[in-house]
């Protein structure tokens, strides 16, 4: 049940709060009883001066003003003027409908046409605020600032996509604009057709986030700078696939289980890093420093490790036990003392490598090219040397190195 505030004149004194009846006739009858006025001469007017002939146009808690039609037989009509122009309640209600509307949203000015606000969503709050006087959903706009722009206390950042949607019907958001914020504005202004598109954008954003988007070079640099040298920096399980990390100082960082597939790590210092079970497939580590690195069971299939240095003058050995180096290119790398026990190096390029005292026991060296490499005192016991190339060896390979 709707209700209305009834006033006898424009001063809004001595009013009464009444329930709106089902028909205009019943409503007038009840008003005449309450105010002791003759029903046949009673007229009702809205705040904008329009006569009310149907109770359906009366909104809840709306102000309704009474007028008596003055006739010669009536002596107590209190000289009420019949003119509709004099029934307008206050000058603040008056406004001139313009084709161009200026809005001040949270301190930022927007200029748009009235048709833009009305055409796409005629039942929205913005449409009702600026609809013409004959529209039953008419709402009075807010106050204006010193420039004449209507003040709206909302976020301008989220309002701009709202206005653009009303112009062309598409939801287009800049990269820095959160679709959740725009959704709240769409709900507030009652833009029902915009809400499904925004919900879809939010779902897509959540999906991208759940897919573990890879970090960038700047993300890594920022974290390296922010972490004290006395603290361990962890990238365990982090997705860095395809990141350009060339020539960065990444010493002592924990990359266990991290995805570094196709990363550019050329010239980077990865000394004493933990690369256990990390994915470095097809990564570029050319010229990288790998002193004392721990890469147990890491996946380095197809990786480029040309000219890498794994020999630590301090004596710590690179541990690459069980690593997958299938098809990797290690041409010219210094791998003295490296532990490659039971590693897979099938079809790998190990030409001109320094493998002195390296542990290759049980390693799969099938079709591996070891031409020009130094295998002095290297442990090859139990290794698979099928079709491996040993041309131009710097030191002869002894049978004791290969037999269990």
Given this model, what pLDDT does residue 135 score? 44
pTM of the model: 0.50
Q: Does domain 3-90 have CATH number 3.10.20.90?
A: yes
Instruction: Average the pLDDT over each of 59-68, 193-202, 342-351 and give the range with the smallest value.
Output: 59-68
Q: What's the pLDDT tens digit per position in 251-294?
A: 999 999 999 999 999 999 999 999 999 999 999 999 999 999 99
Q: What is the pLDDT of residue 213?
A: 66
Mean pLDDT of the 64-79 span: 52
Would you state the pLDDT for residue 403?
Answer: 53
- Does domain 100-210 match CATH 3.30.710.10? yes
**If you average pLDDT over every residue of the chain, what do you get?**
83
Task: Indicate the angle between helix axes 156-168 and 179-189, nearest 10 degrees.
Answer: 70
190-193 long-range contacts (CB < 8 A, ≥24 apart) are 190/121, 190/123, 190/124, 190/125, 191/120, 191/121, 191/124, 191/162, 191/165, 191/166, 192/121, 192/124, 193/120, 193/121
Q: Is beta strand 3-7 parallel, antiparallel or unpaired with respect to 16-19?
A: antiparallel
Of the pLDDT bands very low, low, confident and very high (cuts 50, 70, 90), residue 99 is confident
Is the Cα dihedral 339, 341, 343, 346 positive or negative?
positive
State the pLDDT at residue 69.
58
The residue ranking higher by pLDDT, 16 or 217, is 217
14-18, 137-141, 147-151: which has the highest mean pLDDT?
147-151
The SS3 call for residue 292 is coil
Segment 193-212 shows an average pLDDT of: 79
For 218-253, b where at least 16 C-beta lie within 10 A, e where not — what string? Answer: eebeeeeeeeeeeeebebeebbbbebbbbebebbbb
Write the CB contacts of 309 (distance below 8 Å, at least 6 apart in sequence): 288, 289, 290, 291, 333, 334
Report the distance separating Cα 260 and Cα 255, nearest Å. 9
Sign of the torsion angle spanned by Cα atoms 142, 148, 151, 155: positive
Ordered by start, the domain boundaries in the chain are 3-90, 100-210, 214-404
Q: Residue 369 and residue 147: Cα distance in Å, rounded? A: 80
Q: Average pLDDT for residues 395-402, to the nearest whole number?
A: 64
What would the pLDDT profile of 26-58 be if each residue is shown by its tens digit? 888 888 888 888 887 788 888 767 788 887 878
For domain 214-404, is the CATH number 2.160.20.80? yes
Contact between 399 and 380 (Cβ < 8 Å): no
Percentage with pLDDT > 90 across the chain: 47
Rounded mean pLDDT of 281-308? 96
């Amino acid at each position: 049940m709707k209700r209305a505030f009834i006033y006898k004149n424009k001063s809004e004194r001595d009013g009464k709060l009444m329930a709106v009846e089902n028909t205009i006739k019943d409503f007038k009858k009840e008003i005449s009883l309450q105010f002791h006025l003759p029903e046949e001469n009673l007229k009702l007017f809205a705040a904008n001066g329009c006569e009310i002939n149907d109770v359906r146009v009366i909104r809840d808690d709306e102000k309704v003003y009474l007028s008596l039609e003055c006739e010669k037989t009536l002596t107590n009509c209190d000289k009420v003027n019949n003119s509709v122009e004099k029934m307008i309640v206050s000058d603040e209600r008056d406004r001139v409908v313009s084709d161009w509307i200026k809005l001040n949203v949270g301190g930022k000015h927007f200029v748009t046409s009235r048709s833009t606000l009305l055409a796409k969503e005629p039942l929205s709050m913005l449409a009702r605020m600026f609809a013409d006087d004959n529209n039953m959903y008419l709402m009075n706009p807010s106050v204006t600032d010193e420039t004449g722009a209507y003040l709206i206390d909302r976020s301008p950042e989220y309002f701009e996509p709202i206005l653009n949607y009303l112009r062309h019907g598409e939801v287009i958001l800049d990269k820095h604009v959160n679709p959740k914020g725009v959704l709240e504005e769409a709900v507030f202004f009652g833009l029902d057709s915009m809400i499904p598109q925004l919900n879809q954008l939010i779902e897509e954003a959540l999906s991208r986030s759940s897919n573990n988007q890879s970090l960038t070079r700047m993300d890594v640099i920022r974290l390296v700078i922010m972490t004290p040298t006395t603290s361990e920096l962890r990238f365990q399980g982090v997705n860095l696939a395809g990141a350009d990390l060339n020539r960065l100082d990444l010493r002592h960082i924990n990359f266990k289980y991290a995805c570094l597939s196709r990363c550019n790590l050329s010239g980077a210092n990865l000394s004493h890093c933990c690369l256990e079970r990390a994915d470095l497939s097809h990564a570029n580590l050319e010229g990288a420093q790998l002193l004392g690195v721990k890469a147990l069971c890491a996946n380095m299939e197809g990786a480029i490790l040309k000219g890498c240095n794994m020999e630590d003058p301090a004596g710590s050995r690179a541990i690459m036990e069980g690593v997958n180096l299938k098809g990797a290119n290690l041409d010219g790398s210094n791998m003295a003392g490296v532990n490659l026990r039971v590693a897979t190096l099938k079809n790998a390029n190990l030409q001109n490598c320094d493998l002195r005292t390296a542990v290759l026991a049980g390693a799969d060296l099938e079709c591996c090219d070891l031409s020009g490499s130094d295998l002095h005192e290297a442990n090859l016991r139990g290794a698979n040397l099928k079709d491996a190339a040993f041309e131009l060896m710097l030191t002869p390979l002894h049978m004791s190195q290969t037999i269990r």
